[in-house]
Structure 1
Amino acid sequence: MQAMFFFNNVVMDGYRWGKCLLLLLSIFWRLQSTHGLLKCYCNFESCPNSTCETDGYCYAATSLDRGLAKHTYHCIELKSLIPIEHPFSCSSTKTRNESVAIQCCKSHDMCNQDLRLEIRTKPQDPGSTATAWQVLPWIMGLMVLGVCAAISLWWARRSPKVLKRESRSLFAPEESCCETRHSMMTATIRDMIELTTSGSGSGLPLLVQRSIARQIQLVDIIGKGRFGEVWRGRWRGENVAVKIFSSREECSWFREAEIYQTVMLRHENILGFIAADNKDNGTWTQLWLITDYHGNGSLFDFLSARTIDANTLVKMALSIATGLAHLHMDIVGTKGKPAIAHRDLKSKNILVKSNLTCVIGDLGLAVRHNVANDSVDVPSTNRVGTKRYMAPEVLDESMDARQFDPYKRSDVYSLGLVLWETARRCGSLPDDYQLPYYECVPPDPSLEDMRRVVCVERRRPVLPNRWHSDPVLSAVSKVMKECWYQNPAARLTALRIKKTLSNIPIVDHYKL
């Protein structure tokens, strides 16, 4: 009995010690697995040695772009995972035919390097193939249309006057309705906008916007900001830009969508608005703003990587001034457009089109002038403009926010700084790209830094000596100096800037 009792004690002690050892090994393994950042494979040019580090997930995606498979690898930071339990950045868009596959992982370093995701198209349902009975009504319909066309042709030749009266009959609206409905099914985005808005620029009907938004497939991320992310998407083979706001930026999303749908706002130098939609799947809400896509990116990105000639300088400057003049102008009428001030004009909010003209975007901070009671419609968001581009009267808080004209003059000051950025990259010996006041303030200046330089010291960006000997750069520099006067009332209007730039001789052959 004593031997048996001793043996049981030894077994129980061994079991306890083994259990403790397993627990210690488990804790050690978890500490080892969570130590440091996760390394991922990255094929972006900005990634050194084709790797990146993150506290979130490794990302891999395969997309179809004009029939070719494109593989994208990079990191997603933990703070960008919205929501954290099921981030939509890691979810493939489900459509009838998938054109993008996305997968995230964090099992080990470089876990995404071997991911080669395949895009699988759904097989066609055999039951969907047309039968003879399904085709028969179409054949009958075509026959009826052919007979009607023959009768119409005969009647037109017989009596033009009768044909003219018939064209005013009750059948005309019905035919027009059918024609419109058919056009909507086969139209591109541009055709749909022209068809449904008649060029008024007030935006597509809300049901059409939602229909477009539900059919868009997200392809890859092209930008990030304080509001959220910008993706390149595809709709019926067309590229579109999808600006996805975080849920805490709902006021900015709503305001920007509201401004974009202002009557008569649509213009070739204002970023083309397509649709806005809020997608709620029961767990989180995605706030989408869909606009035209421009592959050259922002003016900031374009100037950072490329230089320009004198003709392109004037073309860009003239298109920006034209867009700003359209914003500032009020159109009087029953369906008139109110005057709008941008309030955050900078090179990052201006996009470059394929023909190297520019469009103004990001209208989330814009204000509208209410002519009826001479008031200013200011957004409720707590966001303010970019400090580096703020006018002196905004920095020292001397601007009368109850009047609309001071907002326009503040935009003109910002336009002068954008012209300075663009002009630096022009000529046979261009300067390196720099932001305004780069030599006076740190990369992320505070209000106090900008107030000291702009208001107290009254400094402005330096004009290189080579500009004085170049007729185009000299003319553009004269315009920018008249944009950033300390006294707001002395600054040029956007319309005057547009007319001055259009008179520069080098653009005689160029018409906006």
Structure 2
Amino acid sequence: SAAFYILVFPLIIFKSLLCALGLNLMSFTEGHLMCLCEGSKCPQTPECRGTRCFSSIKVSGGEVLLEHGCFKERLQCFTAPSFHQAVHCCSKHMCNGNTTRSFLMSLLISAPEGEPVRYRVETLALFVLAPVVVLVLLSVVSVLACRRLHRGRLQRLQEFDTEQGDGLITSNVGDSTLADLLDHSCTSGSGSGLPFLVQRTVARQISLVECVGKGRYGEVWRGQWQGENVAVKIFSSRDEKSWFRETEIYNTVLLRHENILGFMASDMTSRNSSTQLWLITQYHENGSLYDYLQRVAVETSEGLAMAASIANGLVHLHTEIFGTEGKPAIAHRDLKSKNILVTKELRCCIADLGLAVTHTQADNLLDVGNNPKVGTKRYMAPEVLDETIQTDCFDAYKRVDIWAFGLVLWEIARRTYSNGIVEEYRPPFYDQVPNDPSFEDMRKVVCVEQQRPFIPNRWFSDPTLSALVKLMKECWYQNPSARLTALRIKKTLDKIHSSLEKGKES
């Protein structure tokens, strides 16, 4: 059995080491002794020779059996005494002849079962060596397993190359510009992203310049490709499924839209003896909406344009486009100000599709991916927090996005001037839950108490902010089916913008 080999294998190694040094277990003994020999195992003579003399007592079936003799191996002396048997060893000539029955009986009486035994040098050496050998074996197995896993990850890209390759060779990338690469996703026949062969070439031509953000997902770096800035999101190994999902969606879906972050390439590469998961996209120096609103307060027209651009991006995601260059309907599932980027024109584009869900009407296929993660707790809708969401219904996921959009709209409104007044940036529910709220914290506030973010009085005195308040409240209905659609939000924002422009002209 496995247990037998685990115990015996270290002993074999130990004995081999001794042999290599010209030693054996007998070298630890004091030499051969003459001993008294009485009992069933003794030959005709009353004497025997061995390394130790012994006297033993055994109680069986009411009978007491006494034996005297000699042992060839000292290890035989280390049998633990019990209520039924005891062995006494000595190391002088004929020393066991002086061992009396009463002395042996006293050993039985005074030696309870399981009493600790004093181990000799060779026994201690065996006990020390065995765990070391086992640990070495386990370490070797672990290293081999890690190497196999590492190779398996890198091989996934080769599988993608086979599936996605369309004959383009790496030299096609040579004279391309960033705009060329981004436009390719619109003009390719499949409607998907760049071929993986090209993506990997692009990834290996990028030099990382500076880290511009860190989070639980990993890091975001500003990189350069052929003199142009790009964003490189490096996922942590525990977030591999988010990277895989986002890569999968970008490479199978036509997502080219001014309000969706432009995708360039995805790559799994080995650097500094570790696997790195890269997602390469457009670079927006203003950073996320979350970062931007903390630094800058916006005018009414700017805030309204930001909100409208997010709604446009959400409409594009939620809408299924039919045809050979179409796309399934997509629900984001983790919409928040940190996952929305601000362009240099002060418009917004939606990023981070690692938790996205897709749906196609033709086969009514709902694809939720293979990512066990859920969205950000602060932005979770009531039906997610109380676990009543219809997980087999795509519209349910779209309504979750609408709830989160209402919270993002509230964040923008706080940082929008009216009559020269503006609030400092705060995240949704900042005054109702801790900085890092738990699932239970959010469930209590949103589901049990049915609270919503605080609306300052000054918003109601501004026509535009007042209209935005009405809009965000229609995104926050407790009943998901009562919430607005992304398309209705877009049209409402267009009306608010038209009213603002008319007000300026009059």
Q: Taking structure 2 as the reference length, what is the TM-score of the superposition?
A: 0.63
Match runs of 1:41-440 below 5 Å = 184-195=173-184, 197-198=186-187, 202-280=192-270, 283-427=273-417, 428-440=420-432
Question: In structure 1, the residue corresponding to 2:183 is in which secondary structure?
Answer: helix
Alpha-carbon distance, 1:335 to partner: 3.2
| Counterpart residue number, 1:493 | 485
Match runs of 1:9-24 below 5 Å = none
> Which letter does structure 2 place at the counterpart of 1:191?
D
Gaps of at least 5 residues in structure 1 are 1-176
Q: Once the two structures are superposed, what CA deviation does each residue of 1:454-476 show, in whole Å capped at 9, x if it has no partner?
A: 01111101111111111111111
| Counterpart residue number, 2:447 | 455
Where in structure 1 do 4 or more consecutive aligned residues deviate above 6 Å?
180-183
Question: In structure 1, the residue corresponding to 2:434 is in which secondary structure?
Answer: coil
Does the CA-based 8 Å contact 1:255-1:364 persist in structure 2? Answer: yes
Does the CA-based 8 Å contact 2:334-2:355 persist in structure 1? Answer: yes
Q: Once the two structures are superposed, what CA deviation does each residue of 1:164-204 show, in whole Å capped at 9, x if it has no partner?
A: xxxxxxxxxxxxx99x9998533312123325641775211
- Bigger Rg, which one: 2
Question: In structure 1, the residue corresponding to 2:174 is in which secondary structure?
Answer: helix
Q: 2:470 aligns with which of 471, 478, 483?
A: 478
- Measured on the aligned residues, the alpha-carbon RMSD in Å equals 2.2
Question: In structure 2, the residue corresponding to 1:397 is in which secondary structure?
Answer: coil
Larger displacement relative to structure 2 (433-442 or 262-271): 262-271
Does the CA-based 8 Å contact 2:184-2:193 persist in structure 1? Answer: no
State how far apart, in whole Å, the 2-side matches of 1:411 and 1:195 are.
29
Matched positions, count: 332
Does the CA-based 8 Å contact 1:376-1:402 persist in structure 2? Answer: yes
State how far apart, in whole Å, the 1-side matches of 2:414 and 2:390 are.
33
| Counterpart residue number, 2:92 | none
State how far apart, in whole Å, the 1-side matches of 2:197 and 2:171 are.
17
Question: In structure 2, the residue corresponding to 1:290 is in which secondary structure?
Answer: strand
Question: In structure 2, the residue corresponding to 1:503 is in which secondary structure?
Answer: helix
| Counterpart residue number, 2:495 | 503
Alpha-carbon distance, 1:333 to partner: 1.7
Q: Once the two structures are superposed, what CA deviation does each residue of 1:279-311 show, in whole Å capped at 9, x if it has no partner?
A: 135932111100100000000000011100000
Does the CA-based 8 Å contact 1:375-1:404 persist in structure 2? Answer: no
Question: In structure 2, the residue corresponding to 1:311 is in which secondary structure?
Answer: helix
Does the CA-based 8 Å contact 2:411-2:425 persist in structure 1? Answer: yes
> Which letter does structure 2 place at the counterpart of 1:480?
M
Alpha-carbon distance, 1:353 to partner: 0.2
> Which letter does structure 2 place at the counterpart of 1:212?
V
Q: In percent, how many aligned pairs have the same letter?
A: 61
Does the CA-based 8 Å contact 1:375-1:403 persist in structure 2? Answer: no
State how far apart, in whole Å, the 2-side matches of 1:207 and 1:181 are.
7
> Which letter does structure 1 place at the counterpart of 2:201?
S
Gaps of at least 5 residues in structure 2 are 1-166
State how far apart, in whole Å, the 1-side matches of 2:330 and 2:185 are.
24
Q: Once the two structures are superposed, what CA deviation does each residue of 1:387-427 show, in whole Å capped at 9, x if it has no partner?
A: 01000000000111011000000100000000000000111
- From the superposition, tell whether residues 282 and 294 of structure 1 become closer, same or farther in structure 2 (CA, over 3 Å): closer
Q: Once the two structures are superposed, what CA deviation does each residue of 1:299-339 show, in whole Å capped at 9, x if it has no partner?
A: 00000111000000110000000001100000112332100
- From the superposition, tell whether residues 489 and 184 of structure 1 become closer, same or farther in structure 2 (CA, over 3 Å): same
Q: Once the two structures are superposed, what CA deviation does each residue of 1:336-394 show, in whole Å capped at 9, x if it has no partner?
A: 21000000000000000000000000110001113244232112222110001000000
State how far apart, in whole Å, the 1-side matches of 2:170 and 2:386 are.
56
Q: Taking structure 1 as the reference length, what is the TM-score of the superposition?
A: 0.62
